[in-house]
Amino acid sequence: MAVFVYAENINGVYKKAAFEAVSYAKAIADQAGDTVTAVSVNPTDSSDLLYKYGASNVINIKDEGLKNFSAKAYAQAVSEVADGSIIVFPHTTDASSVAPMLAVMNGYSLITNVLEAPESLSPFQVKRRAFSGKGYMHAKAKGEKVIVTVSQNAFGVKENAVSGSEEVKNLSVANEDTKVISHEQSSGKLDLKEAEIVVSAGRGLKGPENWGMIEDLAGVLGAATACSKPVSDIGWRPHTEHVGQTGKAIAPNLYIAVGISGAIQHLAGVNSSKTIVVINSDPEAPFFKSADYGVVGDSFQIIPALTEKIKALKG
C-alpha cells in the first residue's frame, strides 16, 4: 500500500501544513507497514525538512511552466509521479483544489478535512470535519484508492525522522488555463492559515484607525491578524484577513476575538481553534457560548493593558 503525500510549498518554501500532511502520511504508512513518498512542485527548501517528519522518498518536480498555480496543471503533474493507493494532501486553499481534480482524473475516492489517523485502512475509514466544523462524521471510502485532505492543525506536526532519498523529475505540463492578472499580498507578516495564534477584530473596534492596538497585541504574541466579514467589506482591513464561512477557515491553537459578536457565519471559520478567547463589552454576545475564556469589557481598555502585561512578562 504505497502512501504518497503532496508537500505544498509557497515560493519554494515548505508550508507548516506540508509537515502536518507528511506526519499524517507517516501514521498511515506505519499502520500499513509501508513508507511515505512526498511529492512537491519546484521546492527550493531542502528535502531534509520532509525526512524529519517521516518521508523516506522525496520527488521534486521541476517544471518552469508551473511557476503560476493552477489546480488542473498541478493535478496533472502530481498524477505523473504519484500512483499510490493513498495520497495525502493538506487542506490548504491550493492543495484542497488539486486533490479533487486528481481524484476525478485517476478514479480515487476523496475524503476531505480529515481530523485523525484512519480507523481502518481497508476499507479506508476516517473521522472528518462536517457542517462547517459544527460536527464530525466517520467517512468510509468505496474504492481501494483514496485521496484525503488533512484539516489544518488537527493531526499536528509530528517529528518522526527517517533517512530519506531524493529524486528530481523534470516535467513540462501544459499550464495554459491560468494567467495571473493581479496579486494581493496579505498585509500581515504571518500566513493566517498557518499561524499558531490569531488576534482577530470586528466592528466593535469602530474604525480602521483603531487597529494599531490589535497589531501591537499580535506583535507581542507573534500572532497573525484577522477580521470579521463586515470589517473587510467596509474596507477597514484587507479581504485576505476575512475569516468565516465566506472567508478563510482557520484552526490556530489560540484565537483571540475582539469586538466580534460571534455570528454563526463567523464561527464556521474559527470554531476549530483549540482555545478561543472572546473580549466583548456585551455580556450577552453570542460568541461567549463558544469561548474557552471570556472577558466582558471595553476592548479599548483591555487590549492595550493586555499588551503591556504580556510585554512585561516577556521582558
Ligand X SMILES: Cc1cc2nc3c(=O)[nH]c(=O)nc-3n(C[C@H](O)[C@H](O)[C@H](O)COP(=O)(O)OP(=O)(O)OC[C@H]3O[C@@H](n4cnc5c(N)ncnc54)[C@H](O)[C@@H]3O)c2cc1C
Annotated binding site for FAD: 203, 259-266, 280
Place of cell 459578536: 261
Binds ligand X by CB under 6 A, chosen from 273, 280, 290, 307? 280
Which CB sits closer to ligand X, 188 or 259?
259
Nearest to 162 by CA among 22, 30, 53: 53
At 62, phi and psi to the nearest 5?
A: -110, 120
Environment class of 184 (CB within 10 Å of its CB; exposed 0-12, middle 13-18, buried 19+): exposed
Q: Nearest distance from residue 8's CB to ligand X, in Å? A: 23
Binds ligand X by CB under 6 A, chosen from 76, 112, 175, 261? 261
Which CB sits closer to ligand X, 126 or 243?
243
288 touching ligand X, by CB under 6 A: no
84 touching ligand X, by CB under 6 A: no
Binding mask of the shown chain, residues 131 to 150, with x at each position contacting ligand X by CB under 6 A = --------------------
Binding mask of the shown chain, residues 229 to 258, with x at each position contacting ligand X by CB under 6 A = xxx------------xxxx-----------
**CA-CA-CA-CA torsion sign (235, 241, 244, 246):** positive
Measured CA to CA, the distance from residue 232 to residue 254 in angstroms comes to 22
169 touching ligand X, by CB under 6 A: no
Contact (CB, 8 A) for 253 and 214:
no
Binds ligand X by CB under 6 A, chosen from 259, 272, 273, 278? 259
